[in-house]
Amino acid sequence: MKRRTGQDTSITRSWRPATQAVRGGTARSEFGETSEALFLTSGYAYDCAADAAARFAGEQVGMTYSRLQNPTVEMLERRIALLEGAEACRSMATGMAAMTAVLLCQLQTGDHVVAGRAAFGSCRWLTDTLLPKFGIATTIVDARDPQQFADAVQPNTKVFFFETPANPTMDIVDLKAVCDIARANGIVSVVDNAFATPALQRPMEFGADVTAYSATKMMDGQGRVLAGAVCGTEKFINDTLLPFTRNTGPTLSAFNAWVVLKGLETLDLRIRRQSENAMKVGAFIEGRVPRTLHPGLPSHPQHNLAMAQMDACGPIFAFEVEGGRKQAHGLLDALQLVDISNNIGDSRSLMTHPASTTHYGVAEEKRLEMGVTENLLRLNVGLEDPEDVIADLDQALSAVGL
Ligand SMILES: Cc1ncc(COP(=O)(O)O)c(C=O)c1O
């Protein structure tokens, strides 16, 4: 029976990551389906009113309402937690819902956050615009330098928030050094691990308290759905995050959870192949443009650190042209195979000009401080044959005189 329902956690916890990606967290229904069931239901029926009351009182195990629990969503949460090596995970409707929830659930007026300068535009909006509205101050630091985190600590600092690799400049944060500073000061370290995913980098092994994801990226990996997730200790997820998400409702739909479950089955294969492809494409681009920011290439100033923290470089890198927006847009417009698209983590190769898309909403002087210049382009290398991607880039670079 255990074998059919697949719920014996004393066995499943010991599975290796490749096994977790395919089977972790699965809970079979009475039909014994092999592929995870999709439970499209908003509510749950009770045998009697006393059962309903007992479930709401937490005295009876069971589900009450899909804003709070759903069998398909819970399978995804268990699977991500197992891959992450975290005690618990809560999924969200989008990556930004995850980032918003992970900050607001633990901060209050008077608190202080230290955040990495290079970050996805909307993450910068959270730290620079949303938090101050609630009287929460942020110090922005160059996260490549751990000392800047240490120097920014105040008695009221509650959270360190950063991404590594960072979107889109591929800055790398020394996870161990920064998480050690957080620990020593009783600060919660929150790492946005969207670019690497647990398949390539597990921040908790370096001392991170919480990891947060846009699962829209590599976890779905095929450009189909939006999703997010937050991983941490059971205490953090249940006592700090859950009261916030249960009542504010950034819940992931069961359908999207099911799609991401399917995505996770192939995450390891995809991310490793895309990393290999990104190495080939990066080596080609490097010879053609003035500057390439690719953590897998020795020319990246933090290459050694990146490779010490990550199992492979991941599918995303950035590079600079020399003729500003006109040349950057010209290059995008000349592409024939690679799509002009601001998503990442897709199995298709996609390219964007961050200054006019993903970071359009960040004030120009902040953008420039982050290194998001008019010359910068970001490329997500997909699963196509890298020689075809290189041929497309070759002709597009030639078209703009590079
Ligand atoms: C590093 C990073 N964090 C968060 C997000 C937000 O994720 P979502 O688009 O799923 O809300 C993104 C999206 O591009 C991202 O790149």
pLDDT score for 13: 82
| 349 pocket-lining for ligand 1 (C-beta < 6 Å) | no
Query: What dihedral angle (degrees, nearest 10) is formed by the CA atoms of 115, 129, 209, 204?
Result: -60
Q: Of 394, 386, 316, 388, which is closest to residue 354 (Cα–Cα)?
A: 316
Q: How does DSSP assign 79-126, residue by residue?
A: HHHHHHT-SEEEEESSHHHHHHHHHHTT--TT-EEEEESS--HHHHHI
**Contact between 252 and 73 (Cβ < 8 Å):** yes
**Contact between 241 and 276 (Cβ < 8 Å):** no
Give the pLDDT confidence of 377-386 residue by residue, as tens digits: 999 999 999 9
Give the pLDDT confidence of 188-198 residue by residue, as tens digits: 999 999 999 99
* Cα–Cα dist 263/128, whole Å: 33
| 95 pocket-lining for ligand 1 (C-beta < 6 Å) | yes
Output the six-digit token pair for 368: 């420039």
Calculate helix-pair angle for 324-334, 386-399, nearest 10 degrees: 130
The atom of ligand 1 lying closest to the CA of 166 is 1
The atom of ligand 1 lying closest to the CA of 216 is 10
Residue entry with tokens 């009287």: 135
> Rounded mean pLDDT of 297-321?
98
Output the six-digit token pair for 254: 């069961």
Quote the ligand 1 centre to 216 CA distance (angstroms): 7
In angstroms, the Cα distances linking 127 to 185, 347, 350 are 20, 31, 28
160 pLDDT above the threshold of 70: yes
| 226 pocket-lining for ligand 1 (C-beta < 6 Å) | yes
Quote the ligand 1 centre to 96 CA distance (angstroms): 6
Residue entry with tokens 């308290």: 209
Quote the ligand 1 centre to 299 CA distance (angstroms): 26
| 163 pocket-lining for ligand 1 (C-beta < 6 Å) | yes
Give the pLDDT confidence of 69-80 residue by residue, as tens digits: 999 999 999 999
Give the pLDDT confidence of 214-245 residue by residue, as tens digits: 999 999 999 999 999 999 999 999 999 999 99
Q: Of 107, 114, 158, which is closest to residue 135 (Cα–Cα)?
A: 107
The atom of ligand 1 lying closest to the CA of 98 is 11
252 pLDDT above the threshold of 70: yes
Q: Is the omega angle on the peptide bond into residue 168 within 30 degrees of 0, that is, cis? A: yes
Residues 6+ apart with CB under 8 A from 371: 118, 169, 171
Using a 10 angstrom Cβ sphere, with 0-12 exposed, 13-18 middle and 19 or more buried, the burial of residue 246 is middle
Quote the ligand 1 centre to 72 CA distance (angstroms): 23
pTM of the model: 0.96
**Contact between 110 and 156 (Cβ < 8 Å):** yes
Q: Where are the alpha helices (DSSP H) in 24-88?
A: 49-56, 71-84
The atom of ligand 1 lying closest to the CA of 96 is 11
| 314 pocket-lining for ligand 1 (C-beta < 6 Å) | no
> Ligand 1, atom 2: nearest CA belongs to which residue?
120
In angstroms, the Cα distances linking 378 to 136, 315, 341 are 32, 11, 10
- Other C-beta atoms lying within 10 Å of the C-beta of residue 311: 15
| 296 pocket-lining for ligand 1 (C-beta < 6 Å) | no
| 123 pocket-lining for ligand 1 (C-beta < 6 Å) | yes
pLDDT score for 384: 98
> Ligand 1, atom 7: nearest CA belongs to which residue?
95
pLDDT score for 283: 98
The atom of ligand 1 lying closest to the CA of 343 is 14
**Contact between 160 and 187 (Cβ < 8 Å):** yes
| 374 pocket-lining for ligand 1 (C-beta < 6 Å) | no
Which of 103, 214, 259 is the best mutation target for the ligand 1 pocket, counting ligand atoms within 8 Å of the beta carbon and taking the most?
A: 214
pLDDT score for 1: 40
Pairing of strands 137-141, 112-116: parallel
Quote the ligand 1 centre to 94 CA distance (angstroms): 8
> Rounded mean pLDDT of 21-47?
96
350 pLDDT above the threshold of 50: yes
Q: Of 307, 305, 384, 295, which is closest to residue 338 (Cα–Cα)?
A: 384
Q: Tell me how long the chain is.
A: 402
